[in-house]
Amino acid sequence: MSKSRFTSDDGTIDRARRLRRDATPAEKKLWSALRAGNLGGHKFRRQQRIGQFIADFTCQSARLVIEVDGDSHALQIDYDARRTEFLAREGYRVLRFTNADVMGNLDGVCRAIELALAGRASPSHPAAPDGPLPLPRGERGI
């Protein structure tokens, strides 16, 4: 039997388990909204290994990755860009939200995810603090 190109003994499976166990408050809050098909019946997985990377949340059927970024992501912009490029090459769209987005505007975050699941949202734009996320520039009618 041949091994998948994603199969390796690089420790990512143990790391994914550890990340699930030690989820941040923002990840726990978003997971409560995503789990059990709560968002339009779409199934999400937490801390899903994709290649050498681990995605915070993944909807395989929609090829959508959702990342919840803490303060440390400001220090790893190049790494995050390489990671997003890899995921895009694998056919995934990536939505990024900050911990503050999730903690302060879960409804807006969920609305942005629903739009992405419906194929109507661009990835990686921040949530407005008081409501649904703004539409990308080309979809605002401007």
Tens digit of each residue's pLDDT (9 = 90 or more) over 35-82: 989 898 999 999 999 998 999 999 999 999 999 988 765 567 888 889
Distance CA(94)–CA(55), nearest Å, equals 9
pLDDT for position 121:
55
Query: What CATH number belongs to 27-123?
Result: 3.40.960.10
Identify the H or E element spanning 53: strand 53-59
pLDDT for position 74:
58
What's the chain look like in SS3? CCCCCCCCCCCHHHHHHHHHHCCCHHHHHHHHHHHHHCCCCCCCEEEEEECCEEEEEEECCCCEEEEEECHHHHHCHHHHHHHHHHHHHCCCEEEEEEHHHHHHCHHHHHHHHHHHHCCCCCCCCCCCCCCCCCCCHHHCCC
Question: Does pTM top 0.75 for this prediction?
Answer: no
Band of pLDDT at residue 20, cut at 50, 70 and 90 = confident
Q: Where are the domains of the chain?
A: 27-123
